[in-house]
């Protein structure tokens, strides 16, 4: 049973399709128009007949007008590689609901739309699983590396549901490795809080350099956007374990919120300047509103 997405939301997601500004280059057939010339129903061009060509595809109407033999070419439909980068670091466990739970729901929705459209889905979960997580976690992650076909959707949901978040994020290293491993560029979906101390620029630039069309979703917890705790506090970094003692009053709350807004603005401007679709959302955001309104309005799918 799928605990990530409701049956009603699944039915609505079946009516949309990922939009790709670039044509797919995959060698596997799907439902994406490719620059490859094949024998599908969509006419593309003519070329001169060469001895040995299949006579069934000769354009006899053109022969009647020009007294020359031409072969009709058609555009093949190819699948679109969809690579989802899912941040499963310890910081994603923060919030109510947690950032990781919301990220998995988004990954489930995007993956479902992709497999319904006969596209190939690969989920890159980072950081790498610790050896203490056991073989089951590694098996779930490995199963998510290549998902294709609507019949695989339920297993896809189950594998996502079984994941856990722990460890220190390696945002840039993970995106760089994903870019290098990809046989073909396609659509990249990055789901993270984007709070890695090492930044985000090198990783996103690696995907851009590889030719990916990028959709980045920053997920922050409500408490990160608007803290409700005041006074003398001891702040603990969930990933490194480092501690800092601060006095957090109303004046500091205002300064903190401005710092968060400035960080999101810089990330948004970086993305916009490089052709990346960027969304910053709370983990308490209504999932249907994000998927069916915000992503559709931004032409992530249609």
pTM given for the model: 0.78
The answer to whether the CB of 186 falls within 8 A of the CB of 20 is yes
pLDDT, tens digit, for every residue of 65-105? 898 898 776 655 567 899 999 999 999 999 989 999 999 99
Please, are residues 88 and 196 in contact by the beta-carbon 8 Å criterion?
no
d(Cα 204, Cα 188) in Å, to the nearest integer?
10
pLDDT for position 123: 97
- Residue 4 has a pLDDT of 93
Residue 187 belongs to what H/E stretch?
strand 187-192
Q: What CA–CA distance (Å, rounded) separates 136 from 144?
A: 13
Instruction: Look at residue 254 in the predicted model and tell me its pLDDT.
Output: 80
- Which own/partner contact pairs does 153-159 have at CB distance under 8 Å and 24+ positions apart? 153/111, 153/112, 153/115, 153/116, 154/2, 156/108, 156/111, 156/112, 156/115, 156/121, 157/2, 157/3, 157/4, 157/5, 157/108, 157/112
pLDDT digits (tens, 9 = 90+) for 5-38: 999 999 999 888 876 544 444 444 444 444 444 4
Break the chain into its structural domains and give their ranges.
7-24+79-297, 33-78
Residue 29's H or E segment, with its range, is strand 29-38
Strand ranges (E), 39-174: 42-48, 70-78, 81-87, 120-126, 147-148
Could you give the CA distance from residue 224 to residue 201 in angstroms, rounded to a whole number? Answer: 22
- Burial 152-181, CB ≥16 within 10 A → b, else e: bbeebbebbeebebbbebbbbbbbbbbbee
In CATH, what is the architecture of 7-24+79-297?
A: 3-Layer(aba) Sandwich (3.40)
- Confidence (pLDDT) at 238: 55
Low-confidence ranges of the chain (pLDDT < 70): 1-2, 19-45, 73-78, 130-134, 229-251, 302
**CA-CA distance, 15 to 20, in Å (whole number)?**
16
Q: Are 198 and 89 in contact (CB under 8 A)?
A: no
Residue with tokens 């460890």: 167
Cα→Cα distances 142→106, 163, 202, Å: 19, 11, 25
């Amino acid at each position: 049973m799928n605990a990530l997405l409701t049956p009603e939301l699944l039915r609505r997601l079946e009516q949309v399709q990922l939009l790709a500004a670039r044509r797919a280059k995959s060698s596997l057939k799907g439902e994406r128009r490719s620059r490859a010339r094949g024998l599908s129903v969509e006419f593309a061009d003519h070329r001169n007949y060469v001895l040995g060509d299949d006579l069934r595809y000769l354009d006899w109407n053109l022969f009647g007008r020009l007294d020359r033999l031409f072969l009709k070419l058609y555009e093949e439909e190819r699948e679109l590689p969809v690579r989802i980068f899912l941040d499963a670091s310890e910081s994603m466990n923060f919030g109510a609901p947690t950032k990781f739970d919301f990220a998995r729901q988004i990954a489930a929705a995007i993956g479902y739309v992709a497999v319904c459209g006969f596209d190939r889905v690969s989920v890159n979960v980072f950081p790498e699983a610790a050896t203490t997580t056991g073989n089951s976690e590694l098996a779930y992650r490995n199963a998510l590396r290549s998902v294709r076909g609507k019949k695989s959707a339920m297993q896809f949901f189950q594998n996502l549901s079984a994941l856990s978040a722990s460890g220190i994020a390696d945002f840039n290293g993970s995106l760089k490795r994903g870019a290098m491993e990809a046989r073909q560029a396609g659509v990249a979906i990055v789901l993270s809080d984007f709070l890695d101390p090492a930044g985000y620029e090198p990783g996103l630039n690696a995907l851009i350099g590889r030719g990916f069309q990028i959709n980045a979703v920053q997920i922050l917890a409500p408490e990160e956007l608007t803290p409700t705790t005041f006074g003398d506090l001891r702040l603990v970094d969930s990933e490194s374990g480092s501690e800092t003692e601060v006095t957090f009053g109303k004046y500091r709350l205002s300064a903190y919120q401005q710092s968060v807004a400035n960080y999101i603005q810089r990330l948004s401007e970086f993305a916009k300047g490089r052709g990346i679709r960027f969304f910053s959302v709370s983990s308490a955001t209504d999932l249907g509103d994000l998927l069916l309104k915000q992503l559709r309005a931004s032409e992530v799918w249609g």
